[in-house]
Amino acid sequence: MKKIRAILLVIMICATTIIVASLQAYAQGEKSSNNQVLDSEVINGFESRKTALSSLRLDNINKATISQESKYVTQGKNCLHICPTDEPIEEGSYYRDSKIIFYPSNASFKGVEYFSIDIYNPTEKARTVIFAAEAMSKEYIVEPGANTLWLHLDRARLQYVYTNTLSEISLTIQGGDWKMGNLELYIDNFRCYYADTDFVPYTNDFSQDVWYDFNEECDLSWMLAHGTIKSVFSQPLFSINRDISYIKSGEGSLRVDFRNTIQGAQDTRYIRTSDNQLGNLNSYMEKGGEYYLSFPVYNAYDHEISLSVLIFSNYNDEVHGVSTVIPANSWTGDDFIVTLKGLDEAFSGSGLDVKSIAFYFDGMPDEGTVYVDSIGIYPIQ
């Protein structure tokens, strides 16, 4: 019996060691989806003030120094210590958002699958941080103590929009109220990991009826928040929805979450397509026949909301628009469309050079969600 117990104890110790090692490997993020170890390199180790800060831009950060405190160093001998703001003096005041922008010397990052960065929060309050590379971003809660932030680089999306070029990578730290106390963070080991898989680029075909079916993550790159944005943490949040309850066609739809600021103020409720990223409407006019633009929207609020869809020209003029009221938990009606004939009249026959399509929502002071099924052009039957 003692031998059996001893054998079981050895097995348990070995199993525990394997589990811990696996968790550590997962936490380090050094394996791809097919469990292969990825090669990596340090982009910025913050070893000296000259090398560390020459490739950075600091927005609303009061102090940035190089620290040698080993407790906060995860690579090399030094790390970056930042104090975004001083502690607010007046009760009821708020911190502003702070931002660190990295300008890497090698901006192509061809073959990169992940970025990672280590952050140590020495305070007793958790902080909200967004780790972003161009249009790709991930929001994190940075708890007190050691944290590692990961950002998966969607290479299809990157090539689709930016031709495999990154002009900047950033960390944005959310502001807070006076109760949060002084804010400081230690940052180290900004690193990239290279992919071990072949890359097949994704392309969009504007010659088809459906321009955006929101089936792919790449489609998120063509939608933007519109209007005055109070904070990146409260601007509309875009994601691909797979719940068939909010899909009229295809395999996905665009989910848009509207949010309020930490002060409770309403942030923008407007969204739009990227500039000049639509099909050639003039070619449809040349075909003959009649066509219409369609953009079904679902109201997931428990009360009715108003929606105006506006068409902007290349001169950034609002040339045409349609409006409707969407009942609670309902789609827009089938008659909520823009005909090319009506659009051509609005353009005064000068050609349908459309810059973007904007969606203006109203009657929604609370936070909530809407869905855009697709954007496309169809013949009138």
In tens digits, the chain (381 residues) has pLDDT values of 444 444 444 444 444 343 333 333 333 444 444 445 678 888 889 998 887 777 788 888 878 899 999 999 999 999 999 987 655 546 666 778 889 988 766 556 667 788 999 999 999 989 999 999 877 889 999 999 999 999 987 766 665 555 556 777 899 998 877 777 778 899 999 998 887 766 666 666 677 788 889 988 878 878 889 988 988 899 999 999 999 999 999 999 999 999 998 888 899 999 999 888 888 888 888 888 899 999 999 999 999 999 999 999 888 888 899 999 999 999 999 999 999 999 988 988 677 889 999 999 999 988 999 999 999 999 998
Tell me if 37-194 shares its fold with 210-379: yes
- Residue 340's SS3 state is helix
Q: Torsions phi, psi of 145, nearest 5?
A: 100, -160
Domain boundaries, the chain: 37-194, 210-379
Contact 30, 37 (CB under 8 A): yes
Contacts of 139 (CB under 8 A, 6+ apart): 128, 129, 130, 233
At the topology level, CATH places domain 37-194 in Jelly Rolls (2.60.120)
Closest CA to 256 of 373, 135, 369, 137: 369
pLDDT per residue over 299-334, tens digit each? 999 999 999 999 998 888 888 999 999 999 999 999
Q: CA 58 to CA 229: how far, in whole Å?
A: 20
At the topology level, CATH places domain 210-379 in Jelly Rolls (2.60.120)
Look up tokens 């504007």; give the residue. 206
First-last CA distance in the chain: 83
